[in-house]
Amino acid sequence: MIQATDRVRRGQGYDCFEAGPLESWGQFKLTPPETPLPVRGKYFLRPFLNSDGLEMSINVLPPGREMPFVHRHQQNDEIYFVIQGQGQFQAGEELLDVSDGFFIRLSPEVPRVWRNQSDEPLYYLVIQYRADSSVTGGISDGERLEGYPVTWKADPENESALGPETTLP
C-alpha cells in the first residue's frame, strides 16, 4: 500500500500532495485519535501541505452512506465543494440537494450532516479556516512578474505566459 508520505513533494516555497484518481480515495483511512470514529475515504492534508492557516480534507462517501453524526465547530468556518456525485446536505434545518460544482460555506455554529442517497460515490473537498480571520485575496494580492521564465516556452521573450488566446493588451 502506498504511504501518504510517498505522495508528498516539496520544493522551494511549495508543497504538493498527489491524491490520485477519485476512484482511489476510498483507500484513505483515519482512525482515532485523528477522528472520533474510524472512517474510510477521508484524509486531512494540512500536515502534507504545510497549510497552518487552514485545514483541508479530501473525501468520498460511498452510495447509500451518511455522516454518522450531526456536528458543528467551535471556531472554524467550513467550505464544502462537491467534486463529483450527488447527495443531500443538511445545514441547520434546511435540506439542500448537492451535485457536481456545489459549494457551501457554513459558520461554526451551524449544525451539519450529509448523505449520499445515490448509486454512485460522492467526492468532495472540505476547507476549514478560523471564522474570525480575514484574507486579502483575489487579484488584489497577486503581483505580475514581467520577464519571469516560463519553463514550457521555447522563446519566452516572444510568447505570453497566458497563451495567444488570452494575451492582454
What are the structural domain ranges in the chain? Answer: 10-133
Which sign does the torsion angle of CA 106, 108, 109, 114 carry?
positive
Relative to beta strand 8-11, strand 39-40 is unpaired
Q: Which helix (H) or strand (E) holds 46?
A: helix 46-49
- The C-alpha cell 512578474 sits at 145
pLDDT at 164: 59
Task: Give me the CATH code for the 10-133 domain, please.
Answer: 2.60.120.10
Find the mean pLDDT for residues 113-140. 92
Q: Per-residue pLDDT averaged across 101-129, rounded?
A: 97
Looking at per-residue confidence, does 75 or 39 come out higher? 75
Given this model, what pLDDT does residue 161 score?
53
Place 6 in a pLDDT band, splitting at 50, 70 and 90: confident
**What's the confidence (pLDDT) of residue 37?**
83
The reported pTM is 0.83
In three-state secondary structure terms, 26 is helix
Residue of 3 and 98 predicted with greater confidence = 98
Residue type, 23: E
Over the stretch 130-139, which tens digit does the pLDDT of each residue have?
A: 999 887 777 8
Residue 160 pLDDT: 58
